[in-house]
Structures are given as C-alpha cells and as structure tokens.
Copies of this chain bind each other. A is one copy, B any other.
C-alpha cells in the first residue's frame, strides 16, 4: 500500500537553453504545485484533442482580449482546438474593436485615475484605451451594425455574434479576430450576458434612439426593434451537449461563461434522461474554492451536481490566464503540429434546432 502511495518520485526540473515550451511543460509534469497543474492541463486538453466525437467548449471571462490574448484564442479557433466559445460581452467588444483597426495601449496600474479621466483614457489594470475610440466604435455598432439587424426577430446571442463576425470579416484588419475566425470556421459563440457590455448597450441604442430620417421637412426617428431572446441561448447551447457524444470544457476564469457551460450538462441530462456530464475539464482561475462561488469552485464540487463526470479527466490550475494560456497553447501547438480531428459541424435551425455532425479534418 505504502509502496503504491510512494510510487513515482518527483524529478527536479532541469534548465537548458533553447528548450521548447512543450519540453519545458513535460518537465514540469514531474514537479509540484501549480507548475505541475499547468503541465497537467496541457495533458488533459491534449487527451480531448485525441478523442473522437467530442465537442470542446471554451469559457472566456476576465479582460483577456485587452490583455493581448485575442490571437491566442483565434489560434485555438482556427486550429479547431475548441469547438464552441462562451464569452463575456466585453471580450467580444474589445475583439471587434481591434478588428476595426483600433488599439489598446501599454499602461500602468500605478497611476492617477482622475488624471486619466481628464484625458479620457480608460484603464483596465495596466492597459490603457482611448475613450474617444470607444465612443466612435459604439456608434458604429449602433449605426453600422445594428441597423442591419431584423426587427422583432428573436435573436440568440449566437446569431448576433455570427452576424457581427460576418460583418467584420469584410473589414481589412481582421485576421486575428476571435469573431471573424469563429464566423469562418463555423465555431458558435454564445454571449449569454450580451446586455452586460458595451456591445449590448450599443445595440440597445439602435432601439432607443433610432435613426434620424427626414420626411419632407420634418425630422423623424425610426426606431429599431431588435430582440435578443435570452432563452434561445439556453436552448441552443444545451442542444450541443445533448447531441454530443462527449464533451470537454476549458474555462479561462469563471463567471457566466463557466456556469453557462456547466448548466448545459444539467439541462442535457434532464432532457435526455442520461448522464450528460462533461467528460474532460480544465480550468485556469485566480479565484479560490473557499469563497464558495462557482468561479472558484472545484470540479469535485461539480461532480456532486452531475456537471462533471465522476471519472472525468480534470485539472484546475490556479494562475493568471495571461501567464498560463500562452504556455498551454504554445505547448499544444508543438504537440499537434498536425492535428487530425473529427471536428463537430453545427447546423442551426431558426428556432434553435441543431444538427450536429462530425467531419475529419487535418488542421
């Protein structure tokens, strides 16, 4: 028994120059603490990629796009290392903003924010942005994008992000955009709290303010009546987990994206009367279990709910995603220079119906 417990010795990590990221990660597998967890996260994700008939969800919370992670996310989409994205509104907003050629700036968290206010500079920890740029971009969302939406049609957030990706794909500088990559690759993006972002409120402005039209000599405002049907999101998203043979989840941060993906397992199990808990699970978080919230909750806790399978491959790594994600994705890019996967193909009906098929791709 004792021999079984003390079976595999740790191996102190060696240092050598020109070591690739994946080699480094393999070395870290034999260390301890969060360094080992990071290496294990790569292993679990790699196992997902090697599995047949799996749908891989990515939950994206925290200001990762302003922090320079959009190319990493769009890499994951382009190489189909993920199949569905659930994101906060802010990340999509900032992605679209950069897709339109705007920039974020190197700033500092040690600054005088009242002075920044005076200069209309908005701060996201150590990243700065130009409020005038946001203002113009909000205007484009309102007038350039939203006016093209249908009135009184119940959009899911997935449909909105699809249309936004499509619109942006016609703009020049979009090659690393999350929205555009997802549009092109058929990766659905859900944004269950779209209303909780500048993306949401700029669309709302089209409803509220309307477009100024001159009818003869009088000026009238034609208001849009765009509908974002919150329930349609639940319907569409849960269908993915229902239809999929297997699911894997990767959470960058917690928040709505994590819970939203977790709940698809509960709904799918209700609906199918089978255990549809997720089969693989990776989370990168800076939250802690002891605060009791879902963002820092363990996958063990999730097993009690039937959200994560009782024999799931699972790992939590406590780290800032701006450190962990680049390492994980570089390691995956090396492990899978060529990736042959059965990629899920989503065909959506108007009322949230889903046809899910798989196609073997070389990526």
Chain multiplicity (copies)? 4
Interface centre among A198, A208, A289 (most CB of B within 10 A): A208
Q: Is A227 an interface residue (CB 8 A)?
A: yes
Q: Are B12 and A293 in contact (CB under 8 A)?
A: no
Interface string of A222-235 (1 = CB under 8 A from B): 00001111110111
Q: Is A80 an interface residue (CB 8 A)?
A: no
Residues from chain B with Cβ under 8 Å of A121 in the complex = 2, 5-6, 304
How many whole Å from A319's CB to the nearest CB in chain B?
6
Residues from chain B with Cβ under 8 Å of A289 in the complex = 109, 125
Residues from chain B with Cβ under 8 Å of A67 in the complex = 10, 31-33, 35-36, 292
Residues from chain B with Cβ under 8 Å of A193 in the complex = 192-193, 196, 230, 256, 260
Q: Are B125 and A33 in contact (CB under 8 A)?
A: yes
Q: Are A127 and B32 in contact (CB under 8 A)?
A: yes
Q: Are B30 and A106 in contact (CB under 8 A)?
A: yes
How many whole Å from A88's CB to the nearest CB in chain B?
8
A177 to B279, CA, bound (A): 37
Q: A15-B72, A291-B320 are in contact. Are A126 and B9 (CB under 8 A)?
A: no
Q: Are A322 and B31 in contact (CB under 8 A)?
A: yes
Residues from chain B with Cβ under 8 Å of A2 in the complex = 119-121
Q: Is A344 an interface residue (CB 8 A)?
A: no
Interface residues of A in 262-311 (CB under 8 A from B): 263, 266-267, 270, 286-295, 297, 300-301, 303-306, 310
- A-B CB proximity, top 3 nearest: A35-B322, A31-B68, A32-B67
- 18 further A-B contacts with Cβ under 8 Å, apart from A5-B128, A9-B103, A34-B292, are A2-B120, A5-B107, A7-B105, A7-B106, A17-B334, A34-B320, A63-B292, A90-B259, A114-B310, A117-B305, A125-B292, A192-B193, A193-B256, A204-B235, A229-B230, A255-B255, A290-B318, A323-B324
